[in-house]
């Protein structure tokens, strides 16, 4: 569930017209009104105020009245950053996978030289974490990062920093927020739903990709879904900020549903109601297409759609 918080725009105009203005001609009144709005003080008062609940983001999202032909320039840097990040993610994880294979081979070789007594004595205390399946260990680390960021949101003094770097918007100059917002949740229910889905699908998806490629796909899905959200917000001129791991999760779900279309899935609150993975995939795509076209504001459907289509592709 990628939550998109709508930013309210409230332009304020302060005009001071003398009491004798009633006798002035309409032309003079228009000139005086224009001069008042064009003054430096009026420009300061006319700045758009944006609020998300009790969070002040006026210093974070700076929406300027840019001409429409220049508005799409805001997508140049995010697009280049997305292409570079996705490429570096897969290259880095390929190197990580190579080193993991080398360590496994070395470990097998070393085990032949170790004594059984040493192995048994260390397993009593040190192998509790290693007894957990590899997929759960990996996803557990991702969940821990999300929980840490969620707890940071509870500190009022950290809100300006988190709004700046852990929420995404095409009207923000911080490219790092495109990936950092993937690990950011402001609402406890939002965090619980996303992490529950991630934990539930951890075993099949890690088995499908391998732990290294799963990390690359998870991060790439997050940033690609953010770029899709940016495109939608630029086209619709919507100065919203978004956060959450739903874009990455939709990528994971899209990939799993494509590989296992006959698998039976269920909803957390309706465990008795089951459906096939293929039906779930078609339902998710249809819902997000409708939500994007109709501009539903509770969820960032453009990010969901970008994530699931990327998951279908990979």
pLDDT above 70 for 275? yes
Q: Where are the domains of the chain?
A: 3-7+53-112+133-313
pLDDT at residue 226, rounded to an integer: 95
Structure confidence by residue, pLDDT tens digits, 204-236: 888 888 888 999 999 999 999 999 999 999 998
Whether the CB-CB separation of 3 and 299 falls below 8 Å is answered with yes
What is the set of active-site residues? 246, 304
Task: Give the pLDDT confidence score for residue 22 in this predicted structure.
Answer: 43
Backbone angles phi, psi at 276, to 5 degrees: -75, 155
The pLDDT tens digits of the residues spanning 72-91 come to 888 999 999 999 999 999 99
CATH of range 3-7+53-112+133-313; options 2.60.40.10, 3.30.70.20, 1.20.1540.10, 3.40.50.1100: 1.20.1540.10
Per residue in 120-145, pLDDT (tens digit) is 445 544 567 677 888 888 999 999 99
Q: Report which of 197, 191, 182, 181 is spatially closest to residue 151, judged by C-alpha positions.
A: 191
pTM of the model: 0.74
CA angle 222-145-306, nearest 5°? 10
């Amino acid at each position: 569930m990628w939550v998109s918080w709508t930013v309210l725009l409230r332009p304020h105009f302060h005009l001071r017209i003398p009491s004798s203005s009633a006798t002035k001609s309409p032309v003079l009144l228009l000139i005086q009104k224009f001069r008042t709005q064009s003054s430096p003080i009026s420009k300061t008062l006319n700045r758009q105020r944006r609020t998300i609940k009790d969070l002040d983001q006026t210093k974070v999202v700076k929406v300027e009245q840019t001409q429409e032909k220049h508005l799409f320039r805001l997508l140049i840097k995010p697009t280049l950053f997305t292409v570079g990040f996705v490429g570096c993610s897969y290259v880095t994880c390929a190197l990580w996978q190579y080193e993991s294979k080398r360590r496994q081979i070395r470990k097998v070789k070393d085990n032949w030289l170790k004594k059984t007594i040493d192995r048994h004595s260390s397993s009593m205390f040190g192998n509790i974490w290693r007894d957990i399946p590899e997929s759960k260990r990996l996803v557990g680390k991702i969940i821990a990062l999300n929980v840490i960021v969620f707890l940071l949101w509870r500190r009022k003094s950290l809100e300006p920093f988190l709004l700046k770097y852990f929420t995404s918007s095409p009207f923000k100059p911080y490219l790092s927020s495109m990936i950092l917002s993937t690990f950011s949740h402001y609402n406890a229910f939002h965090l619980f739903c996303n992490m529950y889905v991630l934990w539930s699908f951890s075993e099949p998806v890690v088995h499908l990709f391998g732990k290294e490629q799963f990390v690359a796909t998870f991060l790439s899905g997050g940033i690609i879904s953010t770029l899709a959200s940016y495109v939608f917000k630029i086209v619709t001129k919507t100065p919203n900020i978004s956060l959450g791991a739903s874009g990455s999760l939709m990528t994971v779900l899209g990939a799993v549903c494509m590989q296992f279309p006959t698998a039976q899935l269920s909803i957390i609150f309706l465990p008795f109601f089951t459906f096939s993975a293929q039906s779930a995939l078609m339902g998710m795509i249809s819902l997000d297409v409708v939500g994007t076209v109709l501009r539903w504001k509770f969820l960032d459907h453009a990010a969901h759609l970008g994530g699931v289509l990327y998951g279908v592709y990979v």
